[in-house]
Structure 1
Amino acid sequence: MFPFLAKHIKYFLFKKRRNTFLKLLYSRVYKIGIPLLLLIDINAFFWYFDFENFKSIKFFINLFLLSWLFYEVIKYFIYTAISIKVTQKKRVRRELFHLIINLAKVFIALIVFVSVLSFYGVNITAIITSLGIGGVIIGLAAKDTLSNFFDSIRLISSDAIHVGDWIETRDFEGFVTEIGLTYTQIRTFDNSLIVIPNTKLANDWVRNWSRRLIGRRIKFWVKIKYTLDIDEVNRVINEIRQMLISHPMIVTDRKIETIKNKLHKNNLFILEDKYGVRKTLLVYLDEFDEYSMNILVYAFSITIDWEGWLKVKQDVLLKVLEIIKNSKLELAYPTSVIFHDERKNLWKE
């Protein structure tokens, strides 16, 4: 019966549709249908043949199938919510859905445990009330686990980090791969996996490099040889500044105006700080060094990913070199000057 129904449901409802959302729903409905139809078939089988001596077997089969069915129903609603957010082009917080699924697993396990005890006639209320000192000992032993669990909820509710974020703390740096009930997994840049208790992560400072909408900093100094040609120095500085303003991948006021208008809701916060938008652009003669005059170049690239940022930075550096090449200025480098005394030897013979 099950293959027949599954085949016709698939054919009439979803097979002819190319919508990705409906295909996902079909896959989840199909997984719900497996334990549901098995539950119906097995209970019909036991009812028809009237197996009175197999009550315990029937109980455990029903308990397993009901737990399976409940778990698949929860996953159905979770994946439906994810699909709706994806179709609406909204950000999906995967760690929140993982937390709900993990909590559902724990809840189902507790229900199964209590159901088994009740089936064998164990008084659950009496067990709970008789724990006494034993319950206190168990509570103290599970103190760290409970602390990690509540800190995981605090991490997710504070919206400080998401799965996929590049974070840095006092002891490690990498990408968040999972925020679990009691721990968080970090994939470091050398491709090792670090498992950190949520209590440690929640009570330490965290620098989240991924929480930037626009703007990754480019900062360097152009070292030029000392010169008294002030007009030429000013001309080079202005040319570098204009090059950055006209660069398609460098953030300026005009380029982010559309984004600011889109994000503007009220004046209760600074948009640049809330969403991570940086537009500072500075080109100035900064200092006199031992062997050079240093021009500070400070700007932000539109892209925030590492490779894209490196490409923009390389292009800016090459353009700066081209500007220096076409000017009267020269790049400076450490030099040593040796003075040779050519006077005759005055030593007495």
Structure 2
Amino acid sequence: MFNKFFYRIFKDQLSLSETLAIYLNLLANMVVFVLLGYVLFKLFRYVGRKTLHKIAAKTSTSFDDLLIKNKTFLNLSRIVILIIIFNLLKEILVDFPNLFTYAERITTIAIIFAIIWFIHSILSTAKDFLRTTAAFKDKPLESYVQIFMVMLWIIAIISSFSVLTGKPLIKFLTALGAFSAVLLLIFKDTILGFVSSIQVAVNDTVRIGDWITMEKYGADGDVVEINLTSVIIRNFDNTISSIPTYYLTSDSFRNWRTMNSSGGRRIKRAVLIKINSIHFLTDEDIERYKKIELISDYITKSSAEVKKYNEENNIDKSVLLNGRNLTNFGTFRIYLDHYIQNHPKINQDMLLMSRQLEPTPNGIPLEIYAFSREKAWTEYERVMANIFDHILASVKYFDLEVFQNPSSIDIANLKETKTSE
């Protein structure tokens, strides 16, 4: 028998003692045993690289390529090698029955964990393959893979303790009930994350690739991964935020997906107009505003209506306050309405307006509410900036002033004015 080959050399040819020959035979067999495992591993790996890679490259599907990427065949070869080793243990440790028992248990545990890694590679391959399809591209597949792996690891650990102690598996499962409260405490985040990931998937509240904002946690960017315990967000400043998955159901957040799929991105910004710059229009003002093309028709029509009303009601216009009047602020709002309605980057099918908000200590907010056709961040900012550049440059043509806190230069100029006076 091959397991006694070195024993006969040490005992018969070298005339060593029985005990020493047995131990040296064990040592020699272990060296051969390790070398055999190493050679088998290298052989399987070589065959996998030379044969399987070529086959995968020739096929049209990407599934086999993903199997190789996730080292599925490599993990399978480890199981085969461990099974071969398991069957050879009895021959190698024939003179050490006690040692054989422990070696057999350890090898069995190694096979269990190798099977777990093999299953993990299969699940990872399935996840990556489904991710390439349109139906599952934005679904939180990592969560389902992780919860399945958690269950497998729990089973593997319990089975390993059963094999290691030599006690039936049913006893460990019975004892597990006593530790259920502890396990629930340990895996609280995992359980909450699993439930939340199911809710997120069923309700379709968050997908991979969505732009979400959670101001409470400083997250503002695109979702790159949804797994069992956390949501990974790549912020627009290229930092990474990791938020527990169950926060998606327990806390509020903003998802911008519908904005991306809609006809435009909202512009909602205001400038503050000084209250003391607002006044009624005089006849000279009306004639001047008629030259502004966007509101020329409006000024002509509105001024005629106002004049007709005042004449029909015998309004004394020697005082400008009497009767109906146009104001520079109201006229400016009409001008902005026309300007936005003629802007090529504004979606005219969606709500748009300029409106006056409640007065503040710093002036009256004049707000633009519209939707930009450009939804990408950089282009959207350019559209909004161009609109407000025009607003800030055009207020002076309507004898209005934008509020601005005085700077040190303004204060210095004021002092110089007073000194010169």
**Do Structure 1 and Structure 2 share a fold, with TM-score over 0.5?**
yes
Q: What residue in structure 2 maps to residue 223 of structure 1?
A: 273
Shift of 1:158: 3.0
Q: What residue in structure 2 maps to residue 115 of structure 1?
A: 159
- How far, CA to CA, are the matches of 1:313 and 1:293 in structure 2? 20
CA contact (8 A) 1:63 1:112 kept: yes
Taking the TM superposition and a 5 Å limit, the aligned residue runs for 1:1-349 are: 1-2=43-44, 3-14=46-57, 22=62, 25-29=64-68, 31-41=71-81, 43-44=83-84, 51=91, 53=93, 55-85=104-134, 92-93=137-138, 96-120=140-164, 121-130=166-175, 134-135=178-179, 137-138=181-182, 141-142=185-186, 144-145=188-189, 146-163=191-208, 165-168=211-214, 170=216, 172-175=218-221, 178-184=225-231, 196-199=243-246, 201-213=248-260, 214-221=264-271, 223=273, 225-229=277-281, 231=286, 232=289, 233=328, 236-253=332-349, 279-284=350-355, 295-324=366-395, 327-333=397-403
CA contact (8 A) 1:71 1:104 kept: no
Larger helix share, 1 or 2 = 2
Counterpart code for 2:182: I
Shift of 1:12: 4.4
TM-score, L = length of structure 1: 0.67
CA contact (8 A) 1:14 1:26 kept: yes
TM-score, L = length of structure 2: 0.57
Q: Across the two proteins, how many residue pairs are aligned to each other?
A: 301
Q: What residue in structure 2 maps to residue 339 of structure 1?
A: none
| Cα distance, 1:81–1:329 mapped onto 2, change above 3 Å | same
Which stretch shows the higher mean deviation, 102-111 or 293-302? 293-302
- How far, CA to CA, are the matches of 2:88 and 2:361 in structure 1? 98
Fraction of identical pairs, as percent: 18
Secondary structure at the aligned position of 1:247 is classed as coil
Shift of 1:202: 2.5
Q: CA offsets per residue over residues 198-230 of structure 1, 9 Å max, x none?
A: 555522333334542232323224737324338
Counterpart code for 1:138: V
Q: Select the structure with the greater relative contact order (CA < 8 A; seq sep ≥ 6).
A: 1
| Cα distance, 1:287–1:72 mapped onto 2, change above 3 Å | closer
| Cα distance, 1:239–1:41 mapped onto 2, change above 3 Å | same
Q: CA offsets per residue over residues 26-79 of structure 1, 9 Å max, x none?
A: 143352121223433554566589746453354234323322211111111111
Which stretch shows the higher mean deviation, 228-237 or 299-308? 228-237
Shift of 1:294: 6.1
Larger Rg: 2
The CA RMSD measured in Å over matched residues stands at: 4.2
- How far, CA to CA, are the matches of 2:272 and 2:154 in structure 1? 66
Unaligned runs of 5+ in 2: 1-42, 94-102, 290-327, 407-421
| Cα distance, 1:243–1:128 mapped onto 2, change above 3 Å | same
Unaligned runs of 5+ in 1: 254-278, 337-349
